[in-house]
Structure 1
């Protein structure tokens, strides 16, 4: 008996020492969730965030992540993207259990939809389509339905309905018309203008919006376009100058992403100097923004290793970047494309080896570069437009010359032109007499004269003549070679032939003291290097501020940096409206369906060493 009593006493002691029942985590979750939900529903959004942060203290990471996700979903339901973005910024799928990782992706897709970033929303939903459980299908289908709606069509209908309602009671306020219509793509505006069902009184304002969209990002062309609109609608009472002023203010409010990460070559990279030129271009444009509107810039510097770009991209994502710009080297661009993760949009500063790869990430991966091949293609198109059908190609004997010559030839042949001969010259020579005689078939002419003299068995006086079956010569040459080759072509009787080249035939901006040997040449030139216009003014100012811009190659990259930054607020609109272009320092920039920035350039003819627009 005493032994049994002792056992009972021990058991009672163990029970007494056992820990008291604790509140289960699920109950804690419900309590916190209820409090945050009540505050959100009552409109106390800031207090809801503060309460959540206070209650998260002391919880383990998994509980914190789960509660943040739940609160973010409630903010999204209340159409409060700013608070939701703060909560989702540092959440990672691998920190969440079960289906919570899928809920996180759905939340980010919904946030993208609220931001009107349909490309990101579509990509995120496609990533999880195959693995969604039944419990999340309803939310997924709801987001897909919202994604499938045409925002531009809804916006158009809403705008027309609002303006029609105003017309029924009073005259239209021009600025109200602008505000309602300016976001519509130009093709949609033109369609509305052709629609006979639209009220006649509305047509001047549809025309105004269409006129503005046609030169929205072209400050030099816009004033003339608006003046023509005013002349078409004098009864509107709205001066073109006021319309231009309104548009300037509106453009200033179209901001780039809040946090922009630039991936650029480090000091150890072979492209260190080009990287600095791009950085300086970005900073020059960024510094001209009002301080309270500037995005946060984050710089990630990498060496030449292709994998370094991946490390930098992950670091940018972890730092909360909304947009990545870079890298510069094609192998690094290719590695990021192979990575296949578009959770942070990227503007590459080079084209991938296979440009079709960008189509895997519609709207999320775009590429912009200053390639000589693109310029050669423009030259080929211009040659065909001018009626040339038979060409000679003369290029540097190296990879650059071969690529530029092939780009010209491919487009020229596609337009039913013939490449009669394609020759390469050594870049370490100045005198190309022998090669030019072969290219122009002067050697064959001389042989014919010698045969005639032998046949007649008597001396014959004759002057060798060049071939007459050619109407254009394309030079795939850089500046020094172009200045040497052009006079030699004239010497051998080709002075009457059209000679065309890429902008690389000039060492930067045309200089009459240096470029008279290029007289007669037709070539595309970026606005940055022209003598007149806003771009030329900016170049002169920048050249005084940055000594390295005396180098034409670095000057081009500085302008690329400026244009890359200027593109950021407009990429989504360009994707929605293929007619929208940016009149940049490096040319007229337009986003193609494949995600590649296409560049158009003005053509000039060199006359007395100066560039004369053609």
Structure 2
């Protein structure tokens, strides 16, 4: 095993501005940075002056030292300028090791990964180097293996380092690197690497990574397997300084509320939406097998409250130990702006600005951003690299545009042109500009006026795009898509958002939407058995949940269904909950994200083109709903599952 100690962090904390200053001075540039301490500056200046004045074999080691310092300051291009002019034939074996380390690090930073690995592998005299130098080399070599997709070798080097690093912070950082490398490996390959030829420490890492990947979708099973692993490896370094994901997993506890308060507008202009969400929550509540142990469910009508704090405070005063809602962004922000929040909250909307960090606050809405991200990812997955976009000139359209463009370009695609629209009467011209035929039309018109007669004209659209991203309502889409077809772009795929589908089957009208592909909640179109059964249950009891309002019913149903699992979903990034509204996950900020089903219009009828994988252990289906429409309180056993308590001020 390599003789390492943990001084690498000290190496990388050398003076930051000094080298940049001196090198710029040597090039005749006037730096704008402050000059560091005089002693260090003189030492570095002396090094560069000596290198400039030296000749032959004396010059090479001085240049190598200067390059090494430039690497530490991440001035990789400048370091490379020095290193490429060094005569390796004039170097001693130890100097050559320095050269290979610094050049390898430089090439790695400049993404020349294969060449970087070759240089770092060409270091042979480790025992003659300082322990700080050795640990720096091992870290860089591990990073080079990682960059070249040799994840096991990258992890093994770090595991050896882990044996002798002497600070908790450095151990934690090193273990995160081990975890990162091993989690790039496929589950079956991880399992195959576990062998008696490995050390106990290596096998321990392989096993815990395998357990995480194998059971990451099933938290209870995962925690059980981790506990058994601990018995086999009681003093393993990954338990002493756990990777962050394992820390979160072990700390996660399911919520188990006894009294749930739901803050919704049950009257007024948002009353229809609030009531549909309420129906979804009640439907999920009836899925509880034992009504005697089900939590009490109390509804608070927020429509008549001048302040969002009124129903919230009433709910807390009534003993609520979990709150679902409120619905509007303004109400959510009002509640979250309080100095202290002691009751867990699952808000039914998402704020654009994420400035609230609290381990008991979650936000679950239907944001256009999630759909724009999925549209960009889906298009890239299909092989599209050049996009056109047509969106409304609204706040929602602007949010969708920004997120779609950022996501698609981060993936490696390019948004060639973006067209906004405002009035339906202008959609024809908007599509002309989108497809680049407007200039051809203008040229034809000008020539006809000049010549005084009609001209034969062959219109051509732009050819620099693979597909169109469109945000539109069904009505707008039924105008935009025919114009796209008319202007010779019928073969250009169109990817939209869920807003393009009304939720109602209307082949005669929707035939104008033929070819458009869009994401949709599984409840409405999924062909999987559990969703078909849910539609059958709703068809006779609540048919309104099977049209465009179904997203609100699903929001209510899923918010109640995942309530107890929120902290676990947040702790386990691979764990997803298969709800009526999509496959649900929770990120580090407590935001619930949905992955939807994909469908495409064909002869005016949407057909599923891509389904999400459904996990048997948490897939949701809806049992038949109660048909009692009486306004009296509904009972579950001897518990009142809701009450309307509108608060007036």
TM-score by length of 2: 0.53
Kept in 1: contact 2:397–2:471 (CA 8 A): yes
The residue aligned with 1:569 is 564
- Contact 2:219–2:572 (8 Å) recurs in 1: no
CA contact (8 A) 2:260 2:296 kept: yes
Aligned residues: CA RMSD:
3.8
Is the deviation greater in 207-216 or in 591-600? 207-216
**Aligned mates of 1:444, 1:559 — CA distance in 2:** 46
Pairs within 5 Å for 1:502-513: 502-508=497-503, 511-513=506-508
Query: Which shows bigger deviation, 555-564 or 597-606?
Result: 597-606
Give the match for residue 418 of structure 1.
Answer: 414
| CA positional deviation for 1:448 | 4.6
Give the CA deviation at 1:426.
3.5
Q: Shift of the alpha carbon at 1:373?
A: 2.5
Secondary structure of the corresponding residue to residue 269 of structure 2: coil
For residues 459 and 527 of structure 1, the distance between their equivalents in structure 2, rounded to whole angstroms, comes to 53
Equivalent residue, structure 2, for 1:318 = 317
Q: Is 1:358 paired with 2:361?
A: no
Equivalent residues in 2 for 1:439-450, closer than 5 Å: 439-448=434-443
1:147-158 correspondence to structure 2 within 5 Å: none
Alpha-carbon spacing, 1:581–1:410, altered in 2? closer, same or farther (3 Å): same
The residue aligned with 1:288 is 287
Q: Which residue of 1 aligns with 2:385?
A: 389
Distance 1:438 1:576, change over 3 A: closer
Q: Which of 374, 397, 409 does residue 401 from structure 1 map onto?
A: 397
Q: 1:340 Cα shift? A: 3.3
d(CA) in 1 for partners of 2:273, 2:424: 25
More divergent stretch after superposition (584-593 vs 521-530):
521-530
Q: Give secondary structure in 2 for the equivalent of 1:339.
A: coil
TM-score normalized by structure 1?
Answer: 0.56
Question: Does the alignment pair 1:262 with 2:258?
Answer: no
Evaluate the alpha carbon distance shift between residue 532 and residue 491 of structure 1 in structure 2; reply closer, same or farther with a 3 A threshold: same
Structure 1 position 568, deviation (Å):
1.1
The counterpart of 1:496, out of the listed 491, 498, 509, is 491
What do the CA deviations read for 1:404-444 (whole angstroms, capped 9, x no partner)? 33332332344443333322333544x73233222222221
Q: Does 1:380 align with 2:372?
A: no
Bigger Cα displacement from structure 2, 345-354 vs 540-549: 540-549
Q: Match for 2:217 among 214, 217, 227?
A: 214
The 2-side partners of 1:450 and 1:209 are apart by 66
1:571, distance to aligned residue in structure 2 (A): 1.2
Does residue 367 of structure 2 align to residue 371 of structure 1?
yes
Aligned partners of 2:438 and 2:325: how far apart in 1?
50
Unaligned runs of 5+ in 1: 1-184, 218-253
Residue in structure 1 matched with residue 461 of structure 2 by the alignment? 466
In structure 2, list runs of 5 or more residues that go unmatched: 1-182, 221-253, 611-649
Contact (CA 8 Å) 1:358, 1:595: kept in 2 or not?
no
8 Å contact 2:393–2:421 — kept in the other structure?
yes
Looking at secondary structure, tell me which structure has more helix per residue.
Answer: 1
Provide Cα deviations, 1:40-84, integer angstroms capped at 9, x if missing partner: xxxxxxxxxxxxxxxxxxxxxxxxxxxxxxxxxxxxxxxxxxxxx
Answering whether residue 507 of structure 2 is matched by residue 537 of structure 1, we say no
CA apart distance, 1:344: 0.6
Report the CA distance shift for 1:353/1:448 in structure 2 as closer, same or farther (over 3 A): closer
In the alignment, the residues of structure 1 paired with residue 472 and residue 483 of structure 2 have an alpha-carbon distance, to the nearest angstrom, of 14
Q: Which residue of 2 aligns with 1:77?
A: none
Aligned match of 2:31 = none
| Aligned residue pairs, count | 389
Q: Residues 157-168 of structure 1: matches in 2 within 5 Å?
A: none
Aligned counterparts, 1:6-405, within 5 A: 197=200, 211=214, 213-214=216-217, 256-267=256-267, 269-290=268-289, 291-303=291-303, 307=307, 309-355=308-354, 357-359=355-357, 361=358, 363-405=359-401
3-state SS in 2 of match to 1:358: coil
Alignment partner of 1:555 is 2:553 = no
SS in structure 2 opposite 1:523?
A: strand
Q: Which structure would you say has the larger RCO, counting Cα contacts within 8 Å and 6 or more residues apart?
A: 2
Assess if the C-alpha contact under 8 Å between 1:510 and 1:530 holds in 2.
Answer: no
